[in-house]
């Protein structure tokens, strides 16, 4: 679609949801935006426009600066920082939006067109992975339940839904801790949360995921579909080699952990320590990192191996430098999911 500032401004005043639809389809890759000069509008610019539009619609409900919330399982980032993910991390937004869209499409196809119920934890002030997708589906096809721990985020998204007249798409919006939330009503077909940082540090993605899996039906889809944390080495020539897997989070592993915790009479609401071996190759000089690979759903994936600078979620975490004089040996990584960088311990005993 050809993009013109004046045209968009006029359309925004008349029918803002139509402008949001144009931007959403561009991010999904269905209909790229073309400037009058014939240049394709970059995704980062589209995300910035979208954030500005939603801010203007929210008006006095737009959140102000405040601190995050420290939880046992990691830190819930402040509302403005959540908005910053839309403004400054367009590849992340694209991969998640495409994954959610494809998951909804698959459920609609498998359920004979029956409405898909989506539970979205940590939605932030803009519900970035839900609100734009209302332009891609009918309200008879999908309904969202939104969770966020910040009252300011809940106030903002409620205002946006009201102003855009999207109430039919939303079953409920709750201010709560997603680690302990209990869903009322029919079980959701899709559960999703994007409450994470690279290598699953800092934020409560893992305990939220475990809790969401308890709320879904037996054929429910988890988004992200898979998160893998791994170690890799970058040698002095810039070549990358994966050394080994540290941990994965997906539906199967999450359900197995939930069963094990239930059998032991335990509930994981906090951080989880991981202890793993890493074999350092012989005669290699370079740096060893923790990496992250995220599959939101289906073919929509991004990783620290490759163009990792495309998203902050795949920023490598530096562990140690090695030189070619070191013989092959086994080292040990003590790592805490939801913890801080300083919680990482790297030893060779």
Q: 22 — alpha (psi -120 to 50), left (phi > 0) or beta?
A: alpha
What pLDDT shows up at residue 349?
A: 54
- Residues whose CB is less than 8 angstroms from the CB of residue 29 and which lie 6 or more positions away in sequence, other chains included: 94, 98
Burial zone of 320 (CB within 10 Å; 0-12 exposed, 13-18 middle, 19+ buried): middle
Q: Provide the whole-model pTM.
A: 0.93
Q: Give the Cα separation of 261 and 93 in Å (integer).
A: 33
What the block records as the tokens of 120 is 């979205």
The tokens describing 176, both together, are: 């709560």
Residue 130: per-residue pLDDT: 98
Spatial separation of the C-alpha atoms in residues 95 and 76, rounded to whole Å: 22
pLDDT at residue 339, rounded to an integer = 86
pLDDT score recorded for residue 323: 78
What kind of fold does domain 42-226+248-266 have according to CATH?
Rossmann fold (3.40.50)
Residue with tokens 């459920």: 107
254: number of CA atoms within 13 Å, CB side?
26
Chunk the chain into consecutive blocks of 10 residues (it has 349) and report each block's average pLDDT, rounded to whole numbers.
57 81 88 66 89 93 82 86 92 96 97 95 97 97 97 96 97 95 94 95 93 91 97 85 93 92 67 85 85 96 80 91 76 87 79
Cα 198 to Cα 51, 54, 61, 148: the distances in Å are 23, 27, 30, 21
**Residue 222 pairs with which residues in a beta bridge?**
191
Report whether 123 contacts 146 (CB < 8 A).
yes
pLDDT for position 14: 73
What does DSSP assign to residue 52? H
């Amino acid at each position: 679609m050809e993009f013109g500032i004046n045209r968009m401004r006029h359309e925004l005043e008349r029918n803002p949801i139509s402008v949001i639809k144009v931007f959403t389809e561009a991010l999904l890759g269905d209909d790229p935006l073309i400037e009058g000069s014939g240049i394709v509008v970059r995704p980062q610019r589209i995300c910035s426009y979208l954030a500005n539009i939603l801010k203007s619609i929210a008006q006095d409900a737009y959140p102000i600066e405040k601190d995050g919330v420290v939880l046992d399982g990691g830190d819930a980032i402040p509302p403005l920082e959540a908005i910053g993910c839309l403004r400054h991390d367009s590849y992340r937004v694209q991969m998640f939006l495409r994954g959610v869209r494809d998951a909804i499409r698959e459920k609609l196809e498998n359920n004979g067109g029956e409405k898909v119920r989506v539970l979205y934890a940590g939605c932030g002030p803009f519900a970035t992975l839900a609100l734009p997708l209302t332009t891609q589906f009918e309200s008879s096809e999908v309904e969202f339940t939104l969770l966020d721990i910040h009252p300011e985020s809940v106030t903002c998204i409620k205002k946006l839904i009201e102003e855009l007249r999207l109430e039919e798409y939303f079953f409920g919006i709750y201010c709560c801790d997603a680690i302990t939330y209990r869903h009322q009503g029919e079980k959701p077909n899709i559960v999703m949360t994007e409450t994470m940082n690279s290598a699953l540090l800092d934020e409560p993605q893992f305990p939220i995921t475990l809790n969401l899996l308890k709320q879904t039906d037996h054929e429910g889809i988890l988004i992200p579909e898979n998160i893998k944390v791994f170690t890799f080495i970058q040698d002095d020539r810039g070549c990358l080699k994966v050394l080994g897997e540290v941990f994965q989070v997906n539906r199967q592993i999450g359900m197995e952990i939930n069963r094990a915790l239930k059998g032991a009479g335990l509930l994981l609401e906090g951080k989880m320590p991981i202890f793993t071996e890493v074999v350092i190759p012989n005669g290699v000089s370079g740096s060893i990192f923790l990496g992250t690979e995220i599959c939101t759903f289906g073919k929509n994936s991004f990783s620290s191996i490759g163009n990792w600078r495309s998203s902050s979620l795949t920023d490598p975490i530096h562990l140690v430098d090695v030189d070619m004089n070191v013989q092959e040996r086994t080292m040990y990584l003590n790592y805490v999911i939801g913890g801080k960088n300083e919680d990482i311990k790297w030893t060779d005993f």
